[in-house]
Structure 1
Amino acid sequence: MTTRISVLQMTSGIDPEANAATIEAALEQGSAVGAAMLFTPEMSGLIDRDRTRAKAHIVPEEQDPVLSRIRDAAARTGVWAAIGSLAVLRDDGRFANRAFVIDASGEIRARYDKIHMFDVDLATGESWRESNAYAPGDQVVTVETPAGKLGLAICYDVRFPALFEALGRQRCDIIAIPAAFTVPTGQAHWHIMQRARAIEASAYVVCAAQVGQHEDGRATYGHSMVIDPWGDVLIDLGGDEATLGFVEIDPARIAEIRKQLPSLANKRLITK
């Protein structure tokens, strides 16, 4: 039996309340067509490169108004929400880039803090130092959902195979890789890396993405996708606009691919 999921492509801005309203509307739309889960991009609640201005909105998760509104909307609509990430304040005063999985009663079932920080100087002149503001996580996280066992990653994590090796060992049915990819890196690597992760894990990959020109001046690549365990792209929402897409997750397809290509079962630990 298949499970319908929805994938939200966003152009998040500097107003958390407006971003929360977009996610609430997507939960309602998904509920209307029988979607069991919604997947949203990295930094769904706030995108603002002005860290002084953004700091006023980055609070402990129990005080985060976006998280609160999404939990209420999930309970109201009966749709699970895999929130790609929100910026939250940790107990030690540092920020975390944190993903959440919220069930149909509004309870938080899982949290994942992005492990790999995006610190880079691009040929375009863009410079990013995520580690200046955010503390990395150190835990591999999976959770059972209506669509199967879900493994969590965020954006830049996609470039680090060890994380996906760990998720593969846990036999995830789906891996979420929400993102806010830059345009140059997206054009070069987005599709090939996401497809590779699906093939390696013999699992569905759901990559909800930010898209377009944001209020803070940055541009993101878009192309939110769902990829099946064979590496076929089931949906690509393009690089032009915020939108919502729907896909059926089929557990029989996972079993079929793992039988045809049993790489997980054949894998050996290399120690030298």
Structure 2
Amino acid sequence: MSSFRAAAIQMRSGIDPERNAADLATYIADAASRGAVYIQTPEMTGALQRDRKSLASVLKGESEDIIVRTASELAAKHGIHLHIGSTAIARDDGKIANRAFLFGPDGNVLTRYDKIHMFDVDLDNGESWRESAVYAPGGDTVVIDLPFARLGFAICYDVRFPQLFRAQALAGASVISAPAAFTRQTGEAHWHVLQRARAIENGAFMISAAQGGVHEDGRETYGHSMIVAPWGEILAEADHAEPGVIVAQVDPALSAAARAKVPNLKNARPFGVVVENDGQATRFNAAS
């Protein structure tokens, strides 16, 4: 594993996948010109569309999807590893996947990841989301070896489930990720602390490209794409909600160093949970 240049692209994806694909090409060219060999885009790179019927009208299968095709071409053109944070893909069973892709420098798909945790929440001021009504959740996390690092995949709401990232770290991932379309409301409250916490507790780099701003479908996302070091330092941040590119040098050796200083992954022990009520104790097993 070796030091490498990583980029996170902040977007404001609209409802038209073709226009988003054209924007993607511009941002990828910018990031590649700055020496990035691993480039990540946000969740729902292809389209942000909360109206289900309108979303269904632009959905394609993987073999026909414009973002998949464009990303393949761009990865090969620039000789990069291109991580599409996610895009909506029509599955063969009639359901929809919120799916991430990693393309190699030859343009081929190296791996895929379907978002596991569905954003089903009721926030303040009447803001409510039900991803499970639209998307089919995935069942497996993914870790893959790249020439320069072992990378773990997640998407947006997954970042609130630390056990997912712990499993990746225990599998040897030195770089983990959570490309996102965080709402402005939740982003202002939690985005920075979640990104830094996942990096610190796993001794890993955290790279998370984000959507930002007011989108055509009416939602507002927080932006603030980030690259965080294993000790918790923010190496690069888009300190706003505007589209753009951030770049940082990532050295996987710093992950090993952080884990040697604070070996919490090795020091974890299995434990139970005892609930006491009116003199009665009930014990449950818990993960370490």
- Relative to the length of structure 2, the TM-score reads 0.91
DSSP-derived class of the 1:254 partner: helix
Partner of 1:248: 249
Give the whole-Å Cα distance in 2 for the aligned partners of 1:117 and 1:129. Answer: 8
Give the whole-Å Cα distance in 2 for the aligned partners of 1:179 and 1:239. Answer: 15
Partner of 1:264: 265
- 2:19 aligned with 1:31: no
Following superposition, the deviation at residue 73 of structure 1 comes to: 1.1
Partner of 1:72: 73
Partner of 1:215: 216
DSSP-derived class of the 2:129 partner: strand
Q: Indicate if the aligned counterparts of 2:212 and 2:224 stay in contact, CA closer than 8 A.
A: yes
Following superposition, the deviation at residue 270 of structure 1 comes to: 3.2
Partner of 1:110: 111
Following superposition, the deviation at residue 194 of structure 1 comes to: 1.1
Following superposition, the deviation at residue 269 of structure 1 comes to: 3.2
Tell me which amino acid in the other structure corresponds to 2:111. Answer: A
Tell me which amino acid in the other structure corresponds to 2:80. Answer: V
Partner of 1:98: 99
Partner of 1:154: 155
Give the whole-Å Cα distance in 2 for the aligned partners of 1:150 and 1:124. Answer: 37
Unaligned runs of 5+ in 1: none
Unaligned runs of 5+ in 2: 273-284
Q: Indicate if the aligned counterparts of 1:3 and 1:146 stay in contact, CA closer than 8 A.
A: no
Following superposition, the deviation at residue 37 of structure 1 comes to: 1.0
Aligned-pair identity (%): 47
Partner of 2:140: 139
Deviates more, 1:34-43 or 1:141-150: 141-150
Partner of 2:235: 234
Give the whole-Å Cα distance in 2 for the aligned partners of 1:32 and 1:155. Answer: 27
Deviates more, 1:30-39 or 1:244-253: 30-39
Alignment RMSD? 1.2
State how many pairs are aligned: 272
- Relative to the length of structure 1, the TM-score reads 0.97
Q: Indicate if the aligned counterparts of 2:20 and 2:45 stay in contact, CA closer than 8 A.
A: yes
Tell me which amino acid in the other structure corresponds to 2:171. Answer: Q
Give the whole-Å Cα distance in 2 for the aligned partners of 1:46 and 1:204. Answer: 27
Give the greater-gyration-radius structure (CA): 2
Give the whole-Å Cα distance in 2 for the aligned partners of 1:107 and 1:242. Answer: 27
Give the whole-Å Cα distance in 2 for the aligned partners of 1:269 and 1:167. Answer: 18
Tell me which amino acid in the other structure corresponds to 1:70. Answer: A
Give the whole-Å Cα distance in 2 for the aligned partners of 1:129 and 1:258. Answer: 37
Partner of 1:16: 17
Give the whole-Å Cα distance in 2 for the aligned partners of 1:105 and 1:239. Answer: 33
Give the whole-Å Cα distance in 1 for the aligned partners of 2:10 and 2:136. Answer: 26
